[in-house]
Structure 1
Amino acid sequence: MPHLIIQYTPQLDAETNMAELCQTLSNTMLAAQHPDGKALFPIGATRVLAFATTHAVIADGSGDYAYVYLNFRIAKGRTPEMIEQVGQSLLAATQAHFAKVFAKRPIGITLQIDEGHEVFNAVHNNLHPLFNKP
C-alpha cells in the first residue's frame, strides 16, 4: 500500500485525460518524503486506479453533474502531519488537473484518506524487487 482508487462519472472521459491524472497522482505520491528525506511510500506498492461508474445519480439527478471520488488507502506508520501534507499535495494536483472542467460544469471532487489496520491483508507480487536494487 498506498492505493489510490478513483471513481468518477463517465462523462468526464470526454472532458479530461484520466490516465494523465493517474500518472500525476502517482508521481505526487512517490515524491512525498519523510522528514529525513526518505520516500514516504514504497514504489513497488504504489497503485493508482481509476474507474468510470456505470450508473450514478449526483445531487438531485436533474442535471449533467460530474463527480470524482478519490479514496487513498495507506497503512499505519505515518504522522498526522505527513498524512496532511500528502493529502494537500494530492488535492492540489487533482484540482489543477480538473481546473478547466471545473470552470465549465458542475463537478464535485472528494478526497478521503483511510489509514487502517487491516483485518486481513494478503499480498502476492514480484514488483518490490524491481525497485529495491542497491
Structure 2
Amino acid sequence: MPHLVALYTANLDAVVDMPALCRELADAMLTVRDEEGRQVFPTGGTRVLAYPAPHFAVGDGGAAGRAAGAGKTGLATGDPGEYGFMYLHLRMGRGRSDATQKRAGDAVLAAARARLDPVMATRHIGLTVQVDVGAEVFDAKHSTLHPLFQKT
C-alpha cells in the first residue's frame, strides 16, 4: 500500500520533468530498508502518482517575490510570477517503526530536492512531504503486479 501522491501547481509542469520525478521518487522508496535491512516497500506495490492543480492560488500570488527582486531573494533570476507548490503525501501501512517512517520521508524528500532544488534556484516554490500511517477500516488488494517481483 505504499502510495506517494504528488499534488502540485500546474505551473511546475513547465519547469519540472514530472515523469522523471515520479520515477526518481519510486526508486527512492524502493531503497528504504527497515532496521533488519529488509526492503520496506514491496516493488510491485510501490506507486507514485502526480496530479497537477490547473487552478490554484499560493500566498500573495507572487507579489512579494516580484517586489523583492533577484538580488534580495538570493535567486539567480527573478521569479517570473505566481509561486509554485508541491505536496508529497506518502501513505504507508501500519507496523513500521518511527525510525523507518522517518527514513522513508527522508528518502522521498532527498529525491524531490535533487530534482527541485535547481528549479528553486530560479523560482519561488514550496515543498511539503508528509508521511501518514493508515488505520484502515477496509483494505482489499487485487493485483497481477506482485507476482512479477516475487522470488521463487
Look up the match of 1:58.
Answer: 58
Look up the match of 2:78.
Answer: none
The SS at the match of 1:92 is: helix
1:6 maps onto 2:9 in alignment: no
Deviation at 1:75, TM superposition (A): 0.3
1:33 maps onto 2:51 in alignment: no
Percent identity (aligned): 44
Moved over 2 A (4+): 60-63
Q: TM-score scaled to structure 2, two decimals?
A: 0.84
What one-letter code is carried by the residue in structure 1 that aligns with 2:106?
A: Q
Structure 1, gaps ≥5 residues long: none
What one-letter code is carried by the residue in structure 1 that aligns with 2:124?
A: P
Look up the match of 1:111.
Answer: 129
Deviations 1:2-52 (A, max 9, x none): 000001111111101011111111111101112222211111110001111
What one-letter code is carried by the residue in structure 2 that aligns with 1:96?
A: A
Name whichever of 44-53 and 85-94 sits farther off: 85-94
**How many residues align structurally?**
134
1:123 maps onto 2:141 in alignment: yes
Look up the match of 1:132.
Answer: 150
**C-alpha separation in 2, matches of 1:122 and 1:133:** 23
**C-alpha separation in 2, matches of 1:121 and 1:59:** 37
Q: What pairs up with 1:58-97 in 2 under 5 angstroms?
A: 58-62=58-62, 63-97=81-115
Name whichever of 39-48 and 56-65 sits farther off: 56-65
What one-letter code is carried by the residue in structure 1 that aligns with 2:93?
A: A
What one-letter code is carried by the residue in structure 1 that aligns with 2:40?
A: L
Name whichever of 53-62 and 109-118 sits farther off: 53-62
Look up the match of 1:43.
Answer: 43
**C-alpha separation in 1, matches of 2:16 and 2:55:** 19
What one-letter code is carried by the residue in structure 1 that aligns with 2:116?
A: F
Name whichever of 5-14 and 121-130 sits farther off: 121-130
**C-alpha separation in 1, matches of 2:54 and 2:100:** 34
Look up the match of 2:69.
Answer: none
Structure 2, gaps ≥5 residues long: 63-80
* CA RMSD in angstroms, aligned pairs only: 1.2
What one-letter code is carried by the residue in structure 1 that aligns with 2:31?
A: A
Q: TM-score scaled to structure 1, two decimals?
A: 0.94
Whichever of the two has the greater Rg, that structure is: 2
